[in-house]
Amino acid sequence: MNEEYYLELRENPVQFEHASSVNNVFFDEANKQVFAVRSGGATGVVVKGPDDKSSVAFRMDDKGEVKCIKFSIGNKILAVQRTTKSVDFINFIPDFPHIEFSHECKTKNASVLGFCWTNWNEIVFVTDQGIEFYQVLPDKRSLKLLKSQSINVNWYIYCPETSVLLLSTTVQGNVLQPFAFKSGTMSKMSKFEIELPVVPKPAKLSLSERDIAVATIYSDLYVMYLKHHSRTTNSPGAEVVLYHLPREGACKKTHVLKLNTTGKFALNVVDNLVVVHHQSSLTSIIFDIKLQEPDCPVNVHQAVLPGRSIHPFKIPRTGPAAAPSQAPVICELYSSTWSVFQPDIIISASEGYLWYLKVKLQPTLNLLQDKGKLMDFLLRRRDCKMVILSVCSQMLVGEEKGSLPVVATVFDKLNQVYKEYLDAEQTYTVAMESGPSRSSSSYKRPVRTQAVIDQSDMYTHVLSTFTERKGVCHKFIIAVLMEYIRSLNQYQITVQHYLYELVIKTLVHHNLFYMLHQFLQYHVLSDSKPLACLLLSLESTYPPAHQLSLDMLKRLSTANDEIVEVLLSKQQVLGALRFVRSVGGHDNVSARKFLDAARQTSDSMLFYTIFRFFEQRNLRLRGNPGFNQGEHCEEHVAYFKQMFGEQALMKPAAV
């Protein structure tokens, strides 16, 4: 069971003083900071952020109950809302006076619903009658109105990642008006309507902000609507409806996630997966909106994996009572005091914890049987590399051994991603070479994600161990290797020679020389010097390997020296000489090398022939058949004289 928890609360949660009658807790989604405000700030405000740098502690005067408290980006200015009319500011910039100042909203009779920082010094007030966009001038201790818009607002949601503010308007609250903010400018995006399951009569506010969340999934902004089950419609359960919110253009309903159950839900987005927590069953399910090829305007998705609880979380005991022997307390999961924030935050105000939710990929291996689908799922995850490699290893061994078509599908999926990366890299390189001045800005170096599994990864983590494993049928090993090579070829990826070596070693190990011969015949194993050398080493066990190797070297046409060496080592001196002559290198070769080899054969006629050849060469090049000092052939000249007599030496041409 333990290996089936695919969701867990990340370690080292942010701990803060839990909420109580004297301690109010606030969370700022933009900076991901938790504010513990004791007694209105008089006895201290403790701010805990995701890292130590963003954690601050300070005191402020108790000027009434705090409704909302947030730092501007970079902890420069603190904004505190205590009344429905105004927001107070405190400077946190070093060297600036640490004095509070207050700003009242511009619109008469409006009450401030809240505010959000869009920059270190820009803030939006959201009132029930519209929004006011201000620039804060900390030195002047005043605010400058940049823009305002009047509109009836029921509630609002702000997405700090994209700086998009979503306002609920109209009586039913189901018409959403988004605004986008960018350094001093505010732009109105096209509004859209959320389809309600039942239209209430008379009209009343029917869309609650608890059922709406905004998050970025696969770099697109989505508005997620938790559509509760209604008895009047025939849907078997609640669903999550995703509205795609583009920067420009109309917002469209694009995905429906079927929950197939009813009750209380909460949403998170982790690693581009939509996580839906279900309180009554204490389980969560995940959806991947890309797992299904988009085939119609609205795609209906089912959960990728069966529902599972979040991995139990143990709270270590702290404080003076803590003793090592005491077991840690098991934290209550799916508690009603939990608050869930986008994208991946869960806060338990009563316990004083802020967790980040995490998807564990390893358990998905056993939960998702369809290996092709599993690969599609894994390839889109962030930390997928080792898990993918373990899927590959797993499918090749043991009882869960996959059939070859499955293996082929998995390889094809991996290599498709690999190829896309290689192509992007190639395009980038070409663009850079053609002149960075022209288009340096438009080309970004492609990011190599973990999903890019290259040949060396496969070799190191999967294939080399697999081929050395005992008890695996060699037929299957070769089939798998060939399947991988086929897949690489299909995507026109150059196969690295170490893969070929693996094939050759496996074939040789099982004495399948004729198979090897055929592979070489069809150039399945592409030519390379290392491969030719490997073949050469096989000669003692399989004599034709020698010729195969020589042929390969010849085809490479960059290995002429090697060919000569190979031939000489086989005492094929004449063959070596003929080859050198055929490639036109006979004027530059070392005479000594050939004469050495000829002498080793103890074939005096061969030695005579070779000697004569070089004499003729000398005559042609220098007008004299004798050898130069530098050629170090004295020993051979002496031997020649001894064998055939002085008079056999070629005479210098008569002048």
Nearest-angstrom CA–CA distance, 592 and 578: 16
At its nearest, how many Å lie between other proteins and the CB of residue 489?
5
Position among 145, 322, 330, 404 found at the interface with other proteins (CB under 8 A): 404
Touching other proteins, residues 354-373 (CB under 8 A): none
Stretch that binds other proteins, among 105-113, 188-196, 400-408, 626-634 (CB under 8 A): 400-408
> Is position 403 an interface residue for other proteins (rule: CB under 8 A)?
yes
Type and span of the H or E element at 257: strand 252-258
**Looking at the DSSP assignment, which residues form a beta bridge with residue 275?**
268, 286
Stretch that binds other proteins, among 155-163, 338-346, 477-485, 558-566 (CB under 8 A): 477-485
Position among 200, 405, 585, 623 found at the interface with other proteins (CB under 8 A): 405
**Cβ distance to other proteins smaller for residue 303 or 479:** 479
- 3-class secondary structure, 45: strand
**Cβ distance to other proteins smaller for residue 513 or 608:** 513
Which residue bears the tokens 């085939």? 295
At its nearest, how many Å lie between other proteins and the CB of residue 403?
6
> Is position 440 an interface residue for other proteins (rule: CB under 8 A)?
no
> Is position 490 an interface residue for other proteins (rule: CB under 8 A)?
yes
> Is position 419 an interface residue for other proteins (rule: CB under 8 A)?
no
CB 400 within 8 A of CB 394: yes
Position among 131, 226, 241, 478 found at the interface with other proteins (CB under 8 A): 478
Position among 514, 620, 624, 634 found at the interface with other proteins (CB under 8 A): 514
> Is position 515 an interface residue for other proteins (rule: CB under 8 A)?
yes
Nearest-angstrom CA–CA distance, 395 and 417: 19
CB 614 within 8 A of CB 605: no
Nearest-angstrom CA–CA distance, 411 and 421: 15
Nearest-angstrom CA–CA distance, 514 and 533: 18
Q: Give the C-alpha distances (Å, rounded to integers) separating 579 from 404, 460, 617, 631.
A: 45, 40, 16, 21
> Is position 393 an interface residue for other proteins (rule: CB under 8 A)?
no
Position among 483, 499, 610, 611 found at the interface with other proteins (CB under 8 A): 483
What is the Cα 177 distance to its own chain's centre?
Answer: 34
> Is position 397 an interface residue for other proteins (rule: CB under 8 A)?
no
**Cβ distance to other proteins smaller for residue 175 or 479:** 479
Task: Give me the sheet containing 299-301, strands edge to edge.
Answer: 212-217, 220-227, 239-244, 252-258, 299-301
**Cβ distance to other proteins smaller for residue 166 or 408:** 408
Q: Which alpha helices (H) appear in 232-342, and where do they start and end? A: none
Burial category of 322 from C-beta neighbours within 10 Å (exposed 0-12, middle 13-18, buried 19 and up) = exposed
> Is position 486 an interface residue for other proteins (rule: CB under 8 A)?
yes
> Is position 416 an interface residue for other proteins (rule: CB under 8 A)?
no
- 3-class secondary structure, 283: strand
Type and span of the H or E element at 356: strand 353-359
At its nearest, how many Å lie between other proteins and the CB of residue 516?
12
Task: Give the angle 339-340-344 at the CA atoms, nearest 5°.
Answer: 145
Nearest-angstrom CA–CA distance, 588 and 584: 9
Stretch that binds other proteins, among 73-81, 206-214, 404-412, 461-469 (CB under 8 A): 404-412
**Cβ distance to other proteins smaller for residue 524 or 574:** 524
**Cβ distance to other proteins smaller for residue 238 or 525:** 525
At its nearest, how many Å lie between other proteins and the CB of residue 453?
20
Position among 63, 505, 517, 586 found at the interface with other proteins (CB under 8 A): 517
Stretch that binds other proteins, among 65-73, 256-264, 325-333, 486-494 (CB under 8 A): 486-494
Residue 594 — left, alpha, or beta (φ > 0 → left; ψ -120 to 50 → alpha)?
alpha
Which residue bears the tokens 């170490």? 498
> Is position 476 an interface residue for other proteins (rule: CB under 8 A)?
yes
> Is position 489 an interface residue for other proteins (rule: CB under 8 A)?
yes
Type and span of the H or E element at 86: strand 86-91
**Cβ distance to other proteins smaller for residue 159 or 485:** 485
Position among 522, 605, 647, 655 found at the interface with other proteins (CB under 8 A): 522
> Is position 523 an interface residue for other proteins (rule: CB under 8 A)?
yes
> Is position 485 an interface residue for other proteins (rule: CB under 8 A)?
yes
User: How many CB atoms within 10 Å of residue 200?
Assistant: 11
**Cβ distance to other proteins smaller for residue 184 or 405:** 405
CB 70 within 8 A of CB 54: no
Nearest-angstrom CA–CA distance, 132 and 118: 12
Q: Give the C-alpha distances (Å, rounded to integers) separating 206 from 267, 305, 606, 635.
A: 19, 32, 104, 107
**Cβ distance to other proteins smaller for residue 29 or 501:** 501
Stretch that binds other proteins, among 117-125, 329-337, 401-409, 529-537 (CB under 8 A): 401-409
> Is position 527 an interface residue for other proteins (rule: CB under 8 A)?
no
Rule CB under 8 A: which residues touch other proteins? 403-405, 408, 475-476, 478-479, 482-483, 485-486, 489-490, 514-515, 517-518, 521-524
